[in-house]
């Protein structure tokens, strides 16, 4: 699929579809490895995960299975900034 078709399909998915679009072959394997390494480093099991007031008594009863989240990816590595400035992303949001 050519780039213009990908952009059109992405815009349609964002506006009229599920609200997301996966750009085919947007990343090289080395880029995926780098992204995964950074995220994995920030989600290592270091026992610093805690509950918030939203979790209530479930946390105290040990019934809560918390997810690890990484906030502000743009601040975690240059590759994340480059990802959101991918040429296709820029064309989609210029529409």
For the stretch 31-84, pLDDT in tens is: 999 999 999 998 886 655 554 545 555 555 555 555 667 789 999 999 999 999
Check residue 71 and give its pLDDT.
82
Tokens of 3: 């780039």
Q: DSSP secondary structure string, 4-40?
A: HHHHHHHHHHHHTSSS----TT-S-HHHHHHHHHHHH
């Amino acid at each position: 699929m050519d780039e213009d078709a990908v952009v059109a399909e992405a815009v349609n998915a964002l506006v009229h579809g599920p609200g997301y679009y996966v750009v085919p072959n947007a990343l090289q394997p080395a880029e995926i490895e780098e992204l995964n390494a950074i995220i994995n480093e920030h989600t290592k099991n270091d026992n610093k995960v805690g509950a918030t007031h939203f979790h209530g008594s479930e946390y105290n009863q040990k019934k809560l299975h918390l997810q690890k989240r990484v906030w502000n990816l743009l601040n975690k590595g240059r590759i994340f900034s480059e990802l959101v400035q991918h040429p296709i992303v820029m064309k989609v949001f210029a529409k």
